[in-house]
Structure 1
Amino acid sequence: MYIDRVQLTTMNSVLKPPELEENDIENLSKSADIWAFGLMSYEIVHGELPNERSDLLEALESYRNNHSYNSRLDSLIKQCIAVDPNERPDIDQILYGINEILRREDEHQ
C-alpha cells in the first residue's frame, strides 16, 4: 500500500477515503489506494477538487449519480470512488478498463 501511517496522519481530510477515520490504520487497505486513484482521475477530468471534505463528498455523490456521463473513463472513475470500499475495482480491473478505453480510442482513429 502506498498510503502509510505518516501519510495517513498528515493527509488532508478531503483526500481520506470515507471508510477511514482519524489515524485509522486498521482499516487501511488497497481500496484506499484505489480511492486515491479515483480522486486523482476525477481531478484530471474536472480540473480541481473541492477544498472542504463536505464539499468533496457532495461533489462525488453528485458525480456518481449523474447519468449524463456515459464514457468508459467516467464509469471507471465512478467505480473507484465508490463509498463502499468492497465495490471498488482492484488494480487489475482498472488496468483492464484503461486498456479497453485505449483500444476503443485506437479503433476510432
Structure 2
Amino acid sequence: MRGMKGNSLALMLLLALLVVGKWEVKVAAVTPSECKEERRLGTNACRPVVFGREPSPECCQRVRVTHIECVCPFVSPKLAALINADLNRIVSPFHEKDGP
C-alpha cells in the first residue's frame, strides 16, 4: 500500500509541475498505452521530489514532454489533497529568468 501512495504522490507532483511551470501544449493523438507509459516514466523520474529532494534533470525533462491529457484524468480531489505543496520550493527552469 505504501508503494501505491508513493506512486500517487509522484504522479500528483508531476501534475503540479505541469500546471505551475511553463509547458508547450502539443496537440496529438496519444494512445492509452502511450499515456500509461508516460505516467510510469514520470512517476519513476519524479519520485524523489515527493520525498523532499530537488527534481532531477530527468524529472524536469519528463514534465516538459509529458502530454497533460495523459495525467489530468487521473487526478481526483482526494489525490490532490495528498500533496502538501510548498510553494517556496518551486523554482523556475534553469534557462528562464524572472523579471527583466
When the two structures are superposed, what TM-score results if normalisation uses the length of structure 1?
Answer: 0.31
Which structure has more relative contact order (CA 8 Å, sep 6+)? It is 2
Larger Rg: 1
When the two structures are superposed, what TM-score results if normalisation uses the length of structure 2?
Answer: 0.32
